[in-house]
Amino acid sequence: MGATTVSSIVRETVKAMWDILQPLHMKLPTENDFKNTAKEFYEKWNFPNCLGAIDGKHIRVKCPPHSGTMYYNYKNFFSIVLQAVTDANYRFITIDVGGYGKQSDGGTFRSSSLFHLIESKRLNIPEDGTLPLTMITVPYVFIGDEAYPLLNNLMKPFNRRNLDAEKEYYNMRLSRARRVVECAFGIISAKFRILFKPIEASPDLADDIIKCICILHNTIIDIEGIPIQDEQFLSQSESQCNNSDVVRANNRPTASATFIRETYKNYFPKTTEEWKKIALDFQERWDFPHCLGAMDGKYVQITAPVGSGSYYFNYKKTFSIVLMGIENANYEFIYCDVGTNGRVSDGGVIENTKFMKYLAANKLNLPPPETVVPGEPTLNYVFVGDEAFAIRHDFLKPYNQRELDYPKKVFNYRLSRARRVVENTFGILANRFRASELEETTWVPPSMKLLENVSKVFRGSLQIPCMGYMAKSSTSRYLHQVTTAEEDWKCRLHPPALPTDEITWICSECGDWMCKPSVELPKINMTLHEALQNPVLGISEPLCDDLVVCLSNPYQVLS
């Protein structure tokens, strides 16, 4: 076929696909559709009353004849602009294609059909709704970056200069929710490789091709869902929002739009009730009361920067930076800080973070002291860490290991078990993101896989001490035994109760605490898999109800 025939077929095909699929997979949302989208944004991205995330993407095109600089953008290439609004699941709600490359996102928005629908109140936007768990009424809004104007139904971040804690937290929450549109751009760029080079077509045909790509993206999601690997894509740099040279909107916001943004800002800092929910999770999963988070630092090994000397050299004799994390009871980061040089201790790292700055200024809305048991003295809500942290009224760490009496041993055990979530989180990171090369991970890969597979079954009773030793001596036999033990765990073990005054299992190599069975067992020296299969031990379901399960080898029981 000739070039003209092929061009005609392509033009007719992409137009027909849009005409047929658009009413099915990108129809204008109804009021109920928008309410469902807002509910999903709150559930998935923790941003209430959000109708969608908006952003613009520059699509490379061959410079049209006689167009001058109309299509030449600030990134120094010719483009047309795809402006899109996405829902919480990376689907395009509405798109505008064809803006000139020289336009900013804000300029493209004001010339788009979306803006005119909003201004004319023909977009089926729901009536103002209340913020969750409050009686405060605010409009439903779209969210964009700094390039967009601030309107009653369009929120954007605060200017980055002179941010206080509340504004910074608002910006973080908004940016996290808005990231879905960047992810959507990244997904279509990865799927449709035509977007990686200039589209050699007339502007009208290029517009139709881009519209066809967007409707195919929605169709695939509606039919197949989002593959896991697609969720990892961020925008491939065409999105403007992460660039320091972003073209900002010059429009002065109205007083009502400014007031609405202030209302959202005042709502976002963690409330006392949210902190109490975290503490309740720790109480239920790890049996440690009034715990607001577990904190620890992780050395991330790096190549020594040129001319840095020993600046990044740590006590483990590697060059590193420190990842400082605070996690909730479900292995989720509450806060993280990255970049401190490896010479600094965990206690020194935390002291120089914004978290400590806000904590010292009482800006975190922590709950006041309360009783754990009615009639008992009140106790502070606290964060828990290891011996590297300084003890404060809101930080707890274990007692010194010397001359421990029994109550102190129990306290250390309970605290260490609650604090283990942060180590587990680092291990999960190291397993999932192998490129980061997190140095000296606590677990060998099969045990990390086991942790992810059965964490819901054991609800916090899973412990993995002594794996530093096992990682160094991990024979193929041991790895095989850990892997094959998985089904034994699922069928034999149940969520155990917290041990109190029984004998202690410890690792025979390093002496770490492991678990406390409810009956006295003979001394053993075998793998977990062998212990489960050993008839002498008589491990049955009633006993397993009282076991705190651990992965370690070898281990023994001491009376």
What's the average model confidence in pLDDT over 509-535?
Answer: 40
**Distances in Å between the alpha carbon of 329 and those of 219, 280, 282, 420?**
37, 9, 5, 10
pLDDT tens for 187-217 read: 998 888 888 888 888 888 899 999 999 999 9
Q: Please, which pLDDT band fits residue 227 given cuts at 50, 70 and 90?
A: low
| 382 within a domain of the structure (yes/no) | yes
Query: For residue 528, which phi and psi values (nearest 5 degrees)?
Result: -60, -45
Could you tell me if 115 and 207 lie in one domain? Answer: yes
Could you tell me if 310 and 278 lie in one domain? Answer: yes
CA dihedral 440, 443, 444, 447 (to 10 degrees): -170
Could you tell me if 478 and 436 lie in one domain? Answer: no
User: Looking at the predicted structure, is the pLDDT value of residue 109 above 80?
Assistant: yes
Q: Please, which pLDDT band fits residue 133 given cuts at 50, 70 and 90?
A: low
Identity at 449, one-letter amino acid code? K
Distance CA 60, CA 75 (A): 11
Longest Cα separation, the chain: 89
| 452 within a domain of the structure (yes/no) | no
Distance CA 324, CA 333 (A): 10
| 402 within a domain of the structure (yes/no) | yes
- Of 208, 233, 267, which residue is a domain's last? 267
**Distances in Å between the alpha carbon of 209 and those of 16, 18, 24, 205, 215?**
11, 9, 18, 6, 10
Number of helices (H), then strands (E), in the chain: 16, 17
Could you tell me if 133 and 160 lie in one domain? Answer: yes
- Of 242, 267, 292, which residue is a domain's last? 267
Residue 448, pLDDT score: 32
Q: Please, which pLDDT band fits residue 521 given cuts at 50, 70 and 90?
A: very low
Could you tell me if 322 and 212 lie in one domain? Answer: no
Residues in the chain, total: 559
Pairing type for strands 291-301 and 382-384 reads parallel
Residue 23, pLDDT score: 92
**Distances in Å between the alpha carbon of 32 and those of 38, 63, 88, 153, 452?**
10, 42, 15, 17, 37
What's the average model confidence in pLDDT over 353-358?
Answer: 81
What's the average model confidence in pLDDT over 63-82?
Answer: 84
- Of 267, 285, 304, which residue is a domain's last? 267
Distance CA 509, CA 300 (A): 26
What angle (nearest 5°) sits at the alpha carbon of residue 526, between those of residues 522 and 530? 100
Q: What is the CA radius of gyration of the chain?
A: 28
Q: Is the peptide bond before 64 cis (omega within 30 degrees of 0)?
A: no
Distance CA 170, CA 33 (A): 26
Distance CA 130, CA 110 (A): 28
Domain that holds residue 525: 459-559
Q: What's the domain count of the chain?
A: 3
The larger pLDDT score, comparing residue 163 to residue 91, is at 91
Could you tell me if 382 and 360 lie in one domain? Answer: yes
Could you tell me if 277 and 342 lie in one domain? Answer: yes
Could you tell me if 275 and 218 lie in one domain? Answer: no
Q: Which of 27-31, 120-124, 226-230, 359-363 has the lowest mean pLDDT?
A: 226-230
Could you tell me if 377 and 483 lie in one domain? Answer: no
The larger pLDDT score, comparing residue 534 to residue 496, is at 534
Task: Give the rounded distance of the alpha carbon of 419 from its chain centre.
Answer: 20
Could you tell me if 376 and 486 lie in one domain? Answer: no
The string of DSSP codes covering 137-206 is EE--EEE--TTS--BTTEE-PPPSTT--HHHHHHHHHHHHHHHHHHHHHHHHHHH-GGGGS-B-S-HHHH
**Distances in Å between the alpha carbon of 256 and those of 139, 149, 252?**
11, 13, 12
User: Looking at the predicted structure, is the pLDDT value of residue 149 above 50?
Assistant: yes
User: Looking at the predicted structure, is the pLDDT value of residue 238 above 80?
Assistant: no
- Residues 261/350, Cβ–Cβ less than 8 Å: no
Residue 341, pLDDT score: 87
Task: Give the rounded distance of the alpha carbon of 300 from its chain centre.
Answer: 19
376: how many CB neighbours lie within 10 A of its CB?
8
**Alpha helical stretches, state H, 78-123:** 105-110, 113-119
Q: Please, which pLDDT band fits residue 544 given cuts at 50, 70 and 90?
A: very low
| 509 within a domain of the structure (yes/no) | yes
| Element of type H or E holding 57 | strand 50-60
Residue 554, pLDDT score: 28
The string of DSSP codes covering 21-54 is HHHHHSPPP-HHHHHHHHHHHHHHH--TTEEEEE
What pTM did the predictor assign? 0.53
| 448 within a domain of the structure (yes/no) | no
What's the average model confidence in pLDDT over 168-189?
Answer: 89
What's the average model confidence in pLDDT over 426-432?
Answer: 83
| 15 within a domain of the structure (yes/no) | yes
Query: What six digits make up the tokens of 260?
Result: 């609405």
436: how many CB neighbours lie within 10 A of its CB?
12
| 312 within a domain of the structure (yes/no) | yes
Distance CA 55, CA 86 (A): 9
Could you tell me if 51 and 192 lie in one domain? Answer: yes
| Element of type H or E holding 423 | helix 406-432
Could you tell me if 203 and 332 lie in one domain? Answer: no
Mean residue pLDDT of the chain comes to 73
Q: Please, which pLDDT band fits residue 229 given cuts at 50, 70 and 90?
A: low
Query: What six digits make up the tokens of 320?
Result: 């590193």
Query: For residue 84, which phi and psi values (nearest 5 degrees)?
Result: -135, 150
Percent of the chain with pLDDT over 70: 72
User: Looking at the predicted structure, is the pLDDT value of residue 269 above 50?
Assistant: yes
Residue 252, pLDDT score: 64
Q: Which long-range contacts (CB under 8 A, 24 or more apart) does 270-277 make?
A: 270/364, 270/365, 271/133, 271/365, 272/365, 272/366, 272/367, 273/133, 275/364, 275/365, 275/366, 275/367, 275/381, 276/367
The larger pLDDT score, comparing residue 435 to residue 82, is at 82
| 92 within a domain of the structure (yes/no) | yes
Distance CA 264, CA 49 (A): 10
